């Protein structure tokens, strides 16, 4: 387990997400840091994910009454207090002893929706029992379809409100940093009962993923999944406009533009670069969300300006979790929310509904 917070880290002194990231590096064991912060191959896409946001300019607006700001959105027919969700991230107990239980508490205190990973270190039922805000469940459609069906049923019974199907991992990307660190995954609580998924001596992530990822996965399997559940199904990992068009035809409930935190295909585009093309192809027929590289409230405003319905953050809240448990998760979300509200005010936008492409400097 990670050590206690280093004496040099005083959480109240951490003001933005960069502060939390720097502090997390001093708290996390080296193997954990390499796993969480690393990406695929030369990690070019990892860098581009945020650099692309830095190149986008915002259009300020003066003399607008911004004394009242409304950050509420409606997503999948439910009202959320703001357009920030917690993306699914695996193995959270390597970052904090309480793992996903701390994250779900932090999400609840921040009034945020959490998406739980299939590879969580706490069962989906335990997380649901501790939740105070809506939960979604991230799903890998596995070669063992009956085990997949069972996971879906468990998520339904536990009260999860949507399924987020990861579609960008037919195989595992070349994650050399974690290989060099000899990363060994902890027990995957939701995969107990999957033959070969537990009990191996020092399993690698590659050996675990080989049991879970299905290189034969196609659109027919998405049709099958929709046939066995009443939950809305979103596809996570769509960047190609042609796939977005196919998703509309498939009748899924939404798309998450994602490159898996740049952990899969290196030299693929930044997600904010893919977003407007996907939004254009979808044509308003379903919500489009985006993750990857978001570190500022201004990044969120830019994503909304490009047509995103909401954004998801991953590494930032994990860094908060490592530094200060549930409180760190809450603070990372609240920092982004305050920065978003500040940016909205200075751009003369009083509600999320009032944000469109005119907020961007062309």
**Residue 39 belongs to domain with CATH number:** 3.20.20.70
Domain membership flag for residue 4:
no
Model pLDDT, residue 191: 86
Cα separation of 37 and 283, whole Å? 34
- Residue 74: what are its φ and ψ, rounded to 5°? -115, 120
Structural domain boundaries enclosing 340: 11-359
Closest CA to 84 of 262, 323, 296, 320: 296
Instruction: Write the burial class of residue 5 (CB in 10 Å: 0-12 exposed, 13-18 middle, 19+ buried).
Output: middle
Cα separation of 328 and 334, whole Å? 10
For residue 360, the tally of other CB atoms under 10 A from its CB is 16
Model pLDDT, residue 199: 47
Question: CA triplet 95, 97, 99: central angle to 5 degrees?
Answer: 65
Model pLDDT, residue 36: 97
DSSP, res 70:
B
- How far is the first Cα of the chain from the last one, in angstroms, to the nearest whole number? 48
Model pLDDT, residue 3: 41
Q: Which two tokens stand for residue 311?
A: 């954004």
Model pLDDT, residue 9: 77
Question: CA triplet 172, 311, 41: central angle to 5 degrees?
Answer: 25
Q: Which two tokens stand for residue 290?
A: 């985006």
Q: Which residue has the tokens 């982004």?
A: 336
Compute the 3-state secondary structure of the chain and give helix, strand, coil in percent, each to the nearest 5.
Answer: 45, 10, 45
Task: List per-residue pLDDT tens for the chain, 362 residues long.
Answer: 444 444 467 888 999 999 999 999 999 999 999 999 999 999 999 999 999 999 999 999 999 999 999 999 999 999 999 999 999 999 999 999 999 999 999 999 999 999 999 999 999 999 999 999 999 999 999 889 999 999 999 999 999 999 999 999 999 999 999 999 999 888 888 887 776 555 445 566 666 666 778 899 999 999 999 999 999 999 999 999 999 999 999 999 999 999 999 999 999 999 999 999 999 999 999 999 999 999 999 999 999 999 999 999 999 999 999 999 999 999 999 999 999 999 999 999 999 999 999 999 98
Q: Which two tokens stand for residue 183?
A: 């990363």
Domain membership flag for residue 5:
no
Cα separation of 318 and 24, whole Å? 9
- Are the C-beta atoms of residues 333 and 317 closer than 8 Å to each other? yes
Cα separation of 63 and 278, whole Å? 34
Domain membership flag for residue 6:
no
Check if 50 is active-site.
Answer: no
Cα separation of 2 and 285, whole Å? 44
Domain membership flag for residue 311:
yes
Cα–Cα separations (whole angstroms), residue 332 to 109, 233, 320, 324: 12, 27, 6, 10
The residues that bridge with 163 in the sheet, in sequence order, are: 137, 233
Domain membership flag for residue 95:
yes
Domain membership flag for residue 175:
yes
Cα separation of 50 and 294, whole Å? 6
Q: What is the pTM of this model?
A: 0.94
Model pLDDT, residue 204: 67
Single out the catalytic residue among 50, 96, 153, 260: 260
Cα separation of 262 and 194, whole Å? 28
- Are the C-beta atoms of residues 329 and 317 closer than 8 Å to each other? yes
* CA gyration radius, the chain: 19
Counting the structural domains of the chain, the total is 1
Model pLDDT, residue 207: 64
Long-range CB contact pairs, 226-230, < 8 A, 24+: 226/250, 226/251, 226/252, 228/149, 228/152, 229/152, 229/156, 229/163, 230/156
Cα separation of 100 and 91, whole Å? 8
Domain membership flag for residue 43:
yes
């Amino acid at each position: 387990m990670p050590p206690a917070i280093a004496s040099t880290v005083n959480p109240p002194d951490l003001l933005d997400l960069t502060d939390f990231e720097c502090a997390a590096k001093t708290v996390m064991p080296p193997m954990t840091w390499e796993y969480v912060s690393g990406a695929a191959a030369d990690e070019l896409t990892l860098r581009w994910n945020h650099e692309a946001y830095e190149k986008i300019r915002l259009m300020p607006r003066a003399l607008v009454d911004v004394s009242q700001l409304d950050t509420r959105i409606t997503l999948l027919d439910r009202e959320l207090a703001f357009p920030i969700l917690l993306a699914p991230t695996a193995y959270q107990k390597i970052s904090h002893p309480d793992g996903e239980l701390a994250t779900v508490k932090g999400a609840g205190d921040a009034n945020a929706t959490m998406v739980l990973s299939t590879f969580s270190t706490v069962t989906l039922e335990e997380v649901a029992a501790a939740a105070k805000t809506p939960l979604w469940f991230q799903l890998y459609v596995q070669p063992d379809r009956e085990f997949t069906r069972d996971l879906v049923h468990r998520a339904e019974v536990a009260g999860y409100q949507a399924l987020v199907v990861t579609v960008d991992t037919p195989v595992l990307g070349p994650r050399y940093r974690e290989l060099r660190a000899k990363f060994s995954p902890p027990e995957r609580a939701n995969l107990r009962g999957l033959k070969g998924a537990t009990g191996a001596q020092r399993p690698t992530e590659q050996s675990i993923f080989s049991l879970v990822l299905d290189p034969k996965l196609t659109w027919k399997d998405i049709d099958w999944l929709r046939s066995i559940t009443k939950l809305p199904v979103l596809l996570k990992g769509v960047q190609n406009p042609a796939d977005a068009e196919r998703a509309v035809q498939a009748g899924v409930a939404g798309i998450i533009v994602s490159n898996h935190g740049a952990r899969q295909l290196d030299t693929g585009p930044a997600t904010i670069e893919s977003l407007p093309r996907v939004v254009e192809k979808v044509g308003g027929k379903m919500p489009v969300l985006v993750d990857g590289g978001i570190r500022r409230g201004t990044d969120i405003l830019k994503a909304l300006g490009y047509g995103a319905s909401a954004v998801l953050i991953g590494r930032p809240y994990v860094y908060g979790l490592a530094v200060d448990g549930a409180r760190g998760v809450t603070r990372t979300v609240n920092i982004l929310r305050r920065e978003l509200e500040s940016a909205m005010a200075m751009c003369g936008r009083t509600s999320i509904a009032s944000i469109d492409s005119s907020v961007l400097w062309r």
